[in-house]
Structure 1
Amino acid sequence: MSQSKPTGATASIEAIAKAALTKEADALYQMAAELPADFAGAVSGIIGATGRVVVSGVGKSGHIGRKIAATLASTGTPAYFVHGSEASHGDLGMVTADDICILISNSGETTELRDITLYTRRFNIPLIAISSNPESVLMQAADYKLCLAKAPEVCAIGKAPTTSTTLTLALGDALAVAVMEQRGFDADQFQVFHPGGKLGSQMSRVSDLMHGVDQLPMVAPNDPMSEVLLAMTSGGFGVAFVVADGLLQGVITDGDLRRNMDHLLDKSAADIANSDPTRIAPDMLAAKALAIVNERKITALPVVDDAGAPVGILHVHDLLRAGVA
């Protein structure tokens, strides 16, 4: 069976794509301007639920529902997806009286959602409905009605779920963002839920990656450079920390050695050290530390506490090994 080939020129194909994207973007702007009246109530309902958020839908709405549930779960709100048809065959047992449900149906008349809708009404489980039809059975049954903006589907026949699914996905994102901000969900909590991959690495703190105080190449201000060189070599970081009274007084790097080659061994650590080195805190995000390394073109950073005492050292290789760079 032969496949049909594009009949228009490339410019014509690109025009179709641009028109589709523009129409969907316009629909999003329209929805932002016409935010459903029940949106704030739905957010409060999610926050007030002592159980989980149960998201359900079928077809394209089901695919979007899975993403909404995943986004909620990854931003601090326990959530999972239940397929509308499977709910009628035993999965209703997964929904408890402590939960809150989000049911998605563009028409609001999806037969497969009938049983889970009735279940929420029977057991007084709060129901958030997302639909384009405010007069539908689903919307009339809901506690919180999130009606999509009146915007046509962008497909050629105006039937395939396109604009409507984009609006539903964006509305789900808006719910998740509003809930996480109301909960005060922060970067530390986000890292707990995203430990893997590059994102998880970038959410790590300096304290997670640094070498501890027992590995620091430390010297005193009056130490001769012969001892400083030994400390720099044995430490393996290419630097030495100049410490007095437990506080960081300066840092000596390979660059400092090259700039002071004349009579180097006749000098002391204090003569060579940079007395105002870049310092970072142990609770700084690793991604921020990487930005400092790149901006200032340095390979190692002293990590100090609030009093200025050295507590560790972070090398660019530590960032590379952790996948932050």
Structure 2
Amino acid sequence: MTSALRTLDLEIAGLRLLRQSLETHLGESLKKAVTLTLSLRGRIHVTGIGKSGHIARKLAATLTSTGTPAQFLHPTEASHGDLGVLQPEDLLLALSWSGDTPELLPLIDYARTAAIPLIAITAHPRSVLALAATIILEVPQATEACPDNLAPTTSTTMQLALGDALALAILEARALPNGHYPAAFRALHPGGKLGARLTPASALMHTGDRLPFVRVGTPLSAAIVEMTSKGFGATGVLSPEGALVGIVTDGDLRRSFSKPVDQSELMSRPVEQIMTPRPWTINPDALAPDILSHMNATRITSAFVLVQQTPEATPQGIVHIHDLLRIGL
């Protein structure tokens, strides 16, 4: 337990040093790196060897998944022909704690010859890598968690954190309009739980002839037929102009039929006497987890989708709780 706590303490100390550096010279270099990447017409090739190589792979994946085209370039394979993947409009991002990793030398030379910008993440600003770099992201020196201060531990944690900071700084610098990022992110993550969490109502809703609607003045008997035929356990009630003024649910029917009233008279009543007015509605961009959370909290099973959240709007779709469960929430 003591060893484990010591490891975390040393890695936390390294992250604190990294944060302090970001508030000064490293932060200025990071801004330059973000500006450079935003001007690219090509992609970022992330490289490194050993433990830095593993961090480089993760950084390439993070960049790609947040909308910045990137790929990992293995330095050994690069020197055996894969250098051809580097194009003049690309950028090389190299990770090396020492900055003097021999396997990176062919990549450094090629980048210099082809005038390909090079961003270096290293702890040694006078190293071969740093001296050849267009921009140096200098990681502060820190003590490895290894008892002999040898095995890359604190250093790789710092590289990982700096890579995340760079990737997300690029993402935020692109300044997608409010509400656009979840849709863009989901386009890159359509599968699994993450894809389900980012699914908007517009991708789930039923439209057209599947929508259960009756007009104000419709007898309750006709509303029940509409509810039964559409299978959502509810029907919307529209004004003559097409605005959603209420909803009739299975619960509304149960409450109505539980009262001491003539059943035939009840079935002939206009639906607005039974409906729940001003039902909860959602917009097309509402995300699936938020919809499910509200449904669970309010014990409802369906919601109409309105493009414009105004009293005059006509619903464009309906989302049922089963649609949310079907995608794995």
Match of 2:205 in 1: 210
Match of 1:134 in 2: 125
Establish whether residue 181 from structure 1 lines up as the match of residue 172 from structure 2.
yes
Counterpart residue identity of residue 278, structure 1: W
2: CA distance, partners of 1:129 / 1:92: 18
1:120 to 68, 92, 111: 111
Q: Is the Cα–Cα contact under 8 Å of residues 70 and 80 in structure 1 kept in the other structure?
A: yes
1:282 match: secondary structure: coil
2: CA distance, partners of 1:239 / 1:291: 19
**Which is worse superposed, 213-222 or 50-59?**
213-222
Matches within 5 A, 1:113-262: 113-185=104-176, 186-244=181-239, 245-261=241-257, 262=259
* Runs of at least 5 residues in structure 2 that lack an aligned partner in the other structure: none
Give the CA deviation at 1:272. Answer: 0.8
Residues 305 and 103 of structure 1, relative CA distance in 2, 3 Å threshold: closer
Give the CA deviation at 1:15. Answer: 2.5
Give the CA deviation at 1:33. Answer: 1.1
Counterpart residue identity of residue 303, structure 2: L
2: CA distance, partners of 1:213 / 1:26: 59
Counterpart residue identity of residue 27, structure 1: G
1:33 match: secondary structure: helix
1:310 match: secondary structure: coil
Give the CA deviation at 1:213. Answer: 3.0
Match of 1:304 in 2: 306
2: CA distance, partners of 1:112 / 1:256: 72
Q: Is the Cα–Cα contact under 8 Å of residues 213 and 310 in structure 1 kept in the other structure?
A: no
2:295 match: secondary structure: helix
Q: Is the Cα–Cα contact under 8 Å of residues 65 and 104 in structure 1 kept in the other structure?
A: yes
How far does the alpha carbon of each residue in 1:10-43 deviate from its partner, in whole angstroms, 9 at most, with x for none? xxxx222122112212211221111214111111
2: CA distance, partners of 1:209 / 1:143: 47
1: CA distance, partners of 2:317 / 2:224: 20
Counterpart residue identity of residue 247, structure 1: A
**Which is worse superposed, 37-46 or 259-268?**
259-268
Establish whether residue 69 from structure 1 lines up as the match of residue 60 from structure 2.
yes
Give the CA deviation at 1:104. Answer: 0.9
Number of residue-to-residue matches in the alignment: 311
Give the CA deviation at 1:73. Answer: 0.8
Give the CA deviation at 1:123. Answer: 1.5
1: CA distance, partners of 2:209 / 2:197: 25
Counterpart residue identity of residue 234, structure 2: V
Match of 1:50 in 2: 41
Establish whether residue 316 from structure 1 lines up as the match of residue 312 from structure 2.
no
1:24 to 2, 5, 11: 11
How far does the alpha carbon of each residue in 1:250-276 deviate from its partner, in whole angstroms, 9 at most, with x for none? 001111112222333253210011111
Give the CA deviation at 1:316. Answer: 0.5
1: CA distance, partners of 2:229 / 2:272: 20
1: CA distance, partners of 2:49 / 2:280: 55
1:42 match: secondary structure: helix
Match of 2:291 in 1: 289
Match of 2:51 in 1: 60
Question: What is the TM-score of this pair, normalised by structure 2?
Answer: 0.91
Question: What is the TM-score of this pair, normalised by structure 1?
Answer: 0.92
Q: Is the Cα–Cα contact under 8 Å of residues 300 and 314 in structure 1 kept in the other structure?
A: yes
Match of 1:277 in 2: 279
2: CA distance, partners of 1:22 / 1:249: 60
**Which is worse superposed, 103-112 or 225-234?**
225-234
Q: Is the Cα–Cα contact under 8 Å of residues 206 and 282 in structure 1 kept in the other structure?
A: yes
Counterpart residue identity of residue 62, structure 2: T
2: CA distance, partners of 1:50 / 1:239: 51
1:34 match: secondary structure: helix
How far does the alpha carbon of each residue in 1:72-111 deviate from its partner, in whole angstroms, 9 at most, with x for none? 1111111111111111111111111111111111111100
